[in-house]
A and B are shown apart, each in its own frame.
Chain A
Amino acid sequence: MAAQEHQQPQSRDVEVDTDAPEAPPAAPEAQASVATQGVDDLLDEIDGVLESNAEEFVRAFVQKGGQ
């Protein structure tokens, strides 16, 4: 009975076969090439979601101690 508000499928829409140790991560070369290819796109997207006024936002994030 998970409530709908818990679902964020748009953020987790990547299905990965989790029961297959014989399907390991892509070969390093393949991953590296994908990484290079998409990095500019990725940074553009992240530019759009970063909080505005980075310096002020980071400075204001002050926590009290914890364990």
Chain B
Amino acid sequence: MTARPEGLPSDKLPVGGAMRVMGSETEYGIHAPSAPGANATMMSARIIQAYANLTRQRAAGGAETRWDYTDEEPLHDARGWTVERSAADPSQLTDRPPVLDAEAVALAYGRQELEADGSDESGSLLMNMVLGNGARLYVDHAHPEYSSPEVTNPRDIVAWDAAGDLVALATVRKVAADPELPSINLYKNNTDNKSVSYGSHENYLMPRSVPFGDIVRGLTPFFVTRQIICGAGRLGIGQDGSTPGFQISQRADFFEAEVGLETTIRRPIINTRDEPHATADKYRRLHVIIGDANLSQVSNYLKFGTTALVLSLIEAGQAPKIEVHEPVAGLQAISHDTSLTATVRLLDGRRVTALDIQWMYYEAAAKLAQETGVSDSFSGDGHTRDVLERWESTLGLLGSNPAGAAGSVEWLAKMSLLDGYRNRDGVEWNDARLGLVDLQWSDVRPEKGLYYRMLSRGRMQTIVDDATISRAVAEPPSDTRAYFRGKCVSSFGKDVVGASWDSVIFDVPGIGKLQRVPTREPLRGTEALTGQLFRKHATAGAFLRELLGLDPAPPPGPQAG
């Protein structure tokens, strides 16, 4: 549990440390080995459909809900303008439900099957679900994507992000159990090593009052270098991986700009997409696209925890005052140097390593946390101290004995496995089997995924236990609006016709028109505020009447106050 300083309102988090409203997005690599030409969008829809079938079996009324696109604004730029739709790349138009026409479906799976099984009750293929744990599961471009529910701290993000991997696994099993369908594998990685990359994104809530220029200046040196603690490792150099070797990051070679709105082309280190999914004059949602998808829990924990700390530094005006010369080139040079000795030039003329820069951020974050009291072992926020300790010990190992971090830092774990093969079999970096090790590292099936094989041998440290992850598959976090969203879906699924990050829409017999419940404050709609309401009412009608004040004396709901 999180300690709360006395007098802190229930909808505020302690500032200065690692606590923050945040969420993860994972696009999974998708592949059907027995049907290599299958349409990727169609296969992704099949995956979503599989989960819908599973949850329908589990929950009365179906724990699935359609996505509500009303508040999606992918062309809003945090620098203060909006891109014309006609000027945008089609892949940027993420606010429209993807259309999968009957022709594409028929091409991929045959017309008969479409008629028999390829659609939900309303006749359209399900592309988009809201889950009972508050997450979103949908088809994004040509990949299935799991977007975690909003959480308040890095430990919870590890749990709800790993829950997504169990959701992915459940869909793989479901499809594999159907003898009529080709089996589909899902991979938690970021490239096919043939010039294509797909993302793993992070989202952090920030006060809108922080100038965007401060965010760019404060974050860029950190993002150029944090890969040494949270890179997932990649075989091959260059976008197509054709230069033999091993590098720290899956994503580094796919970044081409310093700041920009795009996420699929000319990828920028700092992404300016500005869809707050919350009260827009108070918050911005910082959309981070530069991270690798992590299976290592420690790398994932540090990725979110240290980034949250750096955002706190930026908000306090205490980020290290450094600027990296040519950050895109620096990002790639650091990724390509597993000896951690490569240097980048700062604008003040110094040449420093990635470790040097990480230590500068660590020192500043530790100082701020001490000043604000959030890292105190008794009166602190319960998270910041642990993030700082793990960050410090990881940087220490990277500087003195990197092999000692192979049980926690993902790229080192993967590299140790590849080195094992190279030493035992005397093979070169371009050996096909090493390519398979790199790919199969991220297979979500525990019997096939090499990360999971390492985990089962006790070679990977964990942050949260199995029971916590299993619980996060079904239960939402208790301390954000994801609680309200998830509970609406799991308790009243058949009466919920749509949901999004900031709304839940009901269609309840007897209440008339559709009822859209806005949830624009991320720290309301919590269990503390709405749990009693869910426990009290067995039907959506009674629940909604009390929530919306159609009955006298409503308790505080997600929008009360």
User: Which residues of A are interface residues toward B (Cβ below 8 A)?
Assistant: 1-3, 5-16, 18, 21, 24-25, 28, 31-32, 35, 38-40, 42-43, 45-46, 49-51, 54-55, 57-58, 60-67
Contacts and interface: CB of A to CB of B under 8 A. Distances in A.
Interface stretch (B277-285, B332-340, B443-451): B443-451
B520 interface: no
Interface in B60-114: 91
A37 B459 CA distance: 12
Contacts of A45: 453, 457
17 contacts: A9-B466, A14-B462, A21-B389, A38-B457, A42-B417, A42-B454, A49-B448, A51-B448, A61-B29, A63-B142, A63-B192, A64-B40, A64-B41, A64-B143, A65-B141, A67-B91, A67-B264
Interface stretch (B347-355, B359-367, B402-410, B504-512): B402-410
Contact of A16 (B404, B465, B473): B465
B552 interface: no
Contacts of B198: 63, 65-67
Contacts of A3: 54, 58, 170, 474
A60 to B, nearest CB: 5
A46 to B, nearest CB: 6
B527 interface: no
Contacts of B170: 3, 5-6
Interface in B418-445: 420-421, 424, 432-433, 435-437, 439-440
Interface of B: 27, 29-31, 33, 36, 40-41, 54, 58-59, 91, 140-143, 155, 166-167, 169-170, 173-174, 187, 191-194, 196-199, 201, 263-264, 289, 385-386, 389-390, 393, 397, 400-401, 403-404, 406-408, 416-417, 420-421, 424, 432-433, 435-437, 439-440, 446-448, 450, 452-466, 469-471, 473-474
A12 to B, nearest CB: 4
A33 to B, nearest CB: 11
B196 A35 contact: no
B425 to A, nearest CB: 9
B457 to A, nearest CB: 6
Given A3-B58, A64-B196, 12 more contacts: A3-B170, A11-B447, A14-B460, A16-B462, A31-B407, A32-B404, A38-B459, A49-B448, A51-B33, A60-B33, A64-B142, A66-B142
Q: What 9 A-B pairs have minimum CB-CB distances, sorted nearest first?
A: A66-B198, A11-B446, A28-B404, A64-B142, A67-B199, A55-B432, A63-B192, A54-B436, A67-B263
B44 to A, nearest CB: 10
Contacts of B174: 5
A60 B81 CA distance: 42
B452 A2 contact: no
Contact of B30 (A16, A50, A60, A63): A63
Contact of A58 (B58, B432, B458, B471): B432
Given A2-B471, A67-B198, A35 B416 contact: yes
Contacts, number: 187
A12 B193 CA distance: 29
Nearest to B265: A65
A64 B30 CA distance: 9
Nearest to B464: A18
B446 A42 contact: no
- Residue of B416, B454, B459 contacting most chain A CB atoms (<10 Å): B459
A14 to B, nearest CB: 5
A31 B406 CA distance: 9
Contacts of B386: 21
Contacts of A6: 166-167, 169-170, 470, 473
A11 B169 CA distance: 12
A8 B445 CA distance: 9
B289 to A, nearest CB: 6
- Residue of A9, A39, A51, A63 contacting most chain B CB atoms (<10 Å): A63
A67 B264 CA distance: 4
Contacts of B155: 18
Contact of A25 (B201, B393, B448, B452): B393
Nearest to A3: B58
B455 to A, nearest CB: 6
